[in-house]
């Protein structure tokens, strides 16, 4: 095998975000673009020589081609072994599990998560470390530094590797092991949950609809829900992964999973509905005539996790991202376990999980997971819900109603304003920051501000500090508004406004969510001068 060293030069804008590097697919397809980033990643971790990696992705357009490039670069950089999902497919949680199970030095996951796929849409690459979790800022910063100084990359001049056949192959001195992308993950799920109890649930007539959104979770859901647990035929829909997600948007929320929502929001709908995203790490949970916000789902799972075998001895703690509602905090307080508030990005949960400080983590952006891997895990959340439903023998509505009577209800919604010119978004945020010192005590739309700050996080494990993580405004009424610019888009800026209003246990919990949040929404728009900055007040997406 011949390897060659190719001269290159830095390419602007290769800064990895909270979920790696995401750009338009055609950008990644430019000569040298992927190669520069992969070489920079190898350089940032002290080289690839003698190391073992996991590689796989969600099957979106350019996935297979990118994997061949990575394999050729890995062998040219001296890697000993690469484990690849058959056909280049691996859900993000399954990749995390393979990294941990095989004790590899990390992995390269190819996905843009919930973003649309196809040649005209989005692609992404991220590096996960040996613990199975997304690279921390120290490594992503080192990768970025390498992208700004890179002058050459190494790649093997060889034919493509057969990644369609399970088995071991050689490329130069490196072994490529092609594995079933589902088998090991399925075995892990069987060790966590009472599959017999869930089989009994389906055998007794329980109905469910799982929308895989033509994304990576389809093969996993078919293998586990249909083949192993006996869910009726038709339970899994859109279960065949497509390079462009069948021209859909694989984001499991009421907007993009409208077909599922329409089915569930009537008296004849299934007992339980769920969906997952492009790379399988997010989830949406729906009951008949009731949508469960990700924040509420996290809280209910924490309150009931002991019903599943893996968590029967209780939880060490729970962590949530800052924009996520405080519903899980109330459960943790009643259970007498620790609770943590972190910046957005699953990597911030890694240290807490590794240190045993928390067992379950969650984000308002439909990500939930536990210490079984170091990623959020959509199908895991669905299976835990099924285990709870099998044990409690109640409907989704009954479980939610009981939860709110026990802990109170945190009405919650996220409003996304997409593709805003970056300078306008930055001006809005900087204006808010300037106002923070004077907001306390002021009244907006009938709500008095009790506290306001720009969130910073000190990691309780390693002492690292993360500044500028979003703006929080608290109201005396128990309401809260959060403003944050998202790092997951590929065009312009996305302003996310998170609205929350707590209603205590003894109050009425039947109010419609957006109505319950009216005052908080009005106050947030008044404080931020949103209309004058954006020329509108209605969001593009409301979840």
Decide: helix, strand or coil at residue 224: helix
Contacts for 484 with CB less than 8 Å, ≥ 6 apart: 323, 344, 469, 470, 471, 495, 496, 498
Phi, psi of 7 (to 5 degrees): -70, 140
Of 377, 409, 370, nearest to 290 by C-alpha is: 409
End-to-end CA distance of the chain: 52
Q: Is 445 a catalytic residue?
A: no
Q: Which of 96, 111, 113, 295 is catalytic?
A: 113
Q: How many helices (H) and strands (E) does the chain have?
A: 18, 27
Of 464, 503, 535, nearest to 141 by C-alpha is: 464
Of 317, 319, 326, nearest to 340 by C-alpha is: 319
Identify the H or E element spanning 73: helix 63-76
Contact criterion met (CB below 8 Å) for 367 and 294: yes
Helix/strand/coil percent split, the chain, to 5: 35, 25, 40
Distance, C-alpha 355 to centroid of its chain? 21
HSE at residue 202, side-chain half, CA atoms within 13 A, is 21
Contact criterion met (CB below 8 Å) for 98 and 104: yes
Decide: helix, strand or coil at residue 197: helix
Contact criterion met (CB below 8 Å) for 278 and 93: no
Name the β-bridge partners of 107: 54, 128
Render the burial of 426-458: b for 16+ CB within 10 Å, e for the rest.
eebbeebeebbeebeeeebeebebbebeebebe
Name the β-bridge partners of 156: 3
Decide: helix, strand or coil at residue 351: helix
Distance CA 216, CA 109 (A): 13
Show the DSSP H helices in 440-486 as ranges: none
Q: Tokens 């993950």, residue?
A: 185
Sign of the C-alpha dihedral computed for residues 294, 299, 303 and 306 taken in this order: positive
Contact criterion met (CB below 8 Å) for 277 and 366: yes
Instruction: Give catalytic residues, as residue numbers.
Output: 113
């Amino acid at each position: 095998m011949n390897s060659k060293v190719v001269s290159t030069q830095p390419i602007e804008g290769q800064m990895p975000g909270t979920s790696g590097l995401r750009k338009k697919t055609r950008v990644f397809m430019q000569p040298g673009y992927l190669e520069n980033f992969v070489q920079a990643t190898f350089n940032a971790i002290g080289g690839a020589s003698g190391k073992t990696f996991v590689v796989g992705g969600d099957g979106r357009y350019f996935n297979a081609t990118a994997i061949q490039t990575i394999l050729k670069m890995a062998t040219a950089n001296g890697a000993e072994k690469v484990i690849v999902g058959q056909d280049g497919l691996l859900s993000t949680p399954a990749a995390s599990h393979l990294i941990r199970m095989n004790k590899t030095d990390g992995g390269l996951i190819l996905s843009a998560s919930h973003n649309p796929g196809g040649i005209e849409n989005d692609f992404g690459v991220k590096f996960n470390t040996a613990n199975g979790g997304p690279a921390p800022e120290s490594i992503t910063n080192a990768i970025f530094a390498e992208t700004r100084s890179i002058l050459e990359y190494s790649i093997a001049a060889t034919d493509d590797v057969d990644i369609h056949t399970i088995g071991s192959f050689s490329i130069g001195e490196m072994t490529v092991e092609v594995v079933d992308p589902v088998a090991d993950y399925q075995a892990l799920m069987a060790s966590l949950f009472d599959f017999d109890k869930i089989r009994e649930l389906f055998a007794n007539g329980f109905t469910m609809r799982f929308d895989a959104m033509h994304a990576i979770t389809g093969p996993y859901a078919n293998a586990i829900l249909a083949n192993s647990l006996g869910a009726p035929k038709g339970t899994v829909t859109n279960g065949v992964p497509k390079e462009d997600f069948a021209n859909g948007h694989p984001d499991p929320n009421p907007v993009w999973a409208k077909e599922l929502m329409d089915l569930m929001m009537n008296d004849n709908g299934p007992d339980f509905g769920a969906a997952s995203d492009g790379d399988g790490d997010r989830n949406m949970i729906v009951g008949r005539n009731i949508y469960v916000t990700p924040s509420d789902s996290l809280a209910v799972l924490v309150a009931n996790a002991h019903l599943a075998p893996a968590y029967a001895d209780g939880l060490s703690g729970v962590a949530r991202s800052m924009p996520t509602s405080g519903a899980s905090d109330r459960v943790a307080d009643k259970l007498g376990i620790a609770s943590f508030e972190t910046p957005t990005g699953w990597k911030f949960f890694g240290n807490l999980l590794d240190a045993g400080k928390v067992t379950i983590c969650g984000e308002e952006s439909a990500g939930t997971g536990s210490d079984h891997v170091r990623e959020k895990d959509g199908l895991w959340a669905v299976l835990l819900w099924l285990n709870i439903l099998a044990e409690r023998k109640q409907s989704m509505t009954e479980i939610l109603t009981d939860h709110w009577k026990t802990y109170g209800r945190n009405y919650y919604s996220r409003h996304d304003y997409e593709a805003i010119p970056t300078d306008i978004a930055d001006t809005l945020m900087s204006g808010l920051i300037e106002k923070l010192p004077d907001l306390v005590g002021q009244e907006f739309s009938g709500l008095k501000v009790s506290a306001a700050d720009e969130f910073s996080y000190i990691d309780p494990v390693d002492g690292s500090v993360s500044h500028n993580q979003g703006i929080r405004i608290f109201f005396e009424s128990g309401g809260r508004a959060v403003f944050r610019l998202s790092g997951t888009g590929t065009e312009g800026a996305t302003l996310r406004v998170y609205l929350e209003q707590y209603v205590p246990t003894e109050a009425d919990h039947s109010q419609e969510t957006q109505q319950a949040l009216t005052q908080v929404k009005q106050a947030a728009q008044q404080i931020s001068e949103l209309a004058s900055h954006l020329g509108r007040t209605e969001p593009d997406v409301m979840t």
